[in-house]
Chain A
Amino acid sequence: QSVLTQPPSVSGAPGQTVTVSCTGSSSNIGAGHGVQWYQQLPGTAPRLLIHTNTYRPSGVPDRFSGSKSGTSASLAITGLQPEDEADYYCQSYDTTLSGAAVVFGGGTKLTVL
């Protein structure tokens, strides 16, 4: 059971827009900790797509965008392309009385139809 909750799968046709949600709580996203998004293509290491809720590292297409509201965050992918088919993970920081830790969502598999 992941601390951050993501839908197991989403899908869309080429050219469409899909969104991936990431729901946390008052000890992570709701506490003001930023959200990062990673893309993992099959058989490869993760790649940083979005950091600090909305910022794209250089080299990441502007088709990818992030947002955050309350205890949740979202990743939107516009103009879907076949090469976007991958697993997507959100990541944040979780602080409780028992300690602090980096947390990941369970991952969302994007299928391009």
Chain B
Amino acid sequence: QVQLVQSGAEVKKPGASVKISCKTSGYSFTDYYIHWVRQAPGLGLEWVGWINPHGGGTNYAQKFQGWVTMTRDTSISTAYMEFGGPSSDDTAVYYCARCHYCSGYPLCCDYWGQGALVTVSS
């Protein structure tokens, strides 16, 4: 069965880099995009960006360009999101999701990780 298992919760001081992993199984890793979506406490979903595991191409939301990096390791079917210099505003649950093409773009996110809580606090 399809599974996306994310790394555990993290507590970081402002300015320290964060790297979250998303290990996938049960499907061909390179056949689907991986999106990263975050949700601050009590707030809605916010798209961070996507990576195409086949080739590694990325697309980041404008507000995250320059400080978020998405990568993947096809040998272990795992995607990563790293961001540097977070502030307390970046405290959120970060989800990875497997997404396929619909409506002309890779927007249909049918399987999600369990979420990784990142707390940024001094």
Contact = CB atoms under 8 A, between A and B. Distances in A.
Interface string A80-108: 00000001010111000011111111110
Interface in B63-122: 95, 97, 102-105, 107-110, 112-115
Given A45-B115, A101-B61, A36 B44 contact: no
B114 A107 contact: no
B10 interface: no
Contacts of A89: 44-45
A101 to B, nearest CB: 5
Contact of A104 (B45, B50, B110, B114): B45
Contact of A102 (B50, B95, B104, B110): B50
A64 interface: no
B75 to A, nearest CB: 26
B62 interface: yes
B103 A34 contact: yes
Contacts, number: 78
B44 A48 contact: no
B interface, size bucket: 20 to 34
Contact of A33 (B37, B44, B62, B103): B103
Interface of A: 2, 33-36, 38, 40, 45-48, 51-53, 55, 57, 87, 89, 91-93, 98-107
B44 to A, nearest CB: 4
B31 interface: no
Given A51-B108, A103-B47, A45 B114 contact: yes
Given A45-B114, A98-B62, A101-B62, A36 B47 contact: no
B44 A51 contact: no
Nearest to A43: B115
B103 A46 contact: no
Given A2-B44, A36-B102, A107-B44, A48 B62 contact: no
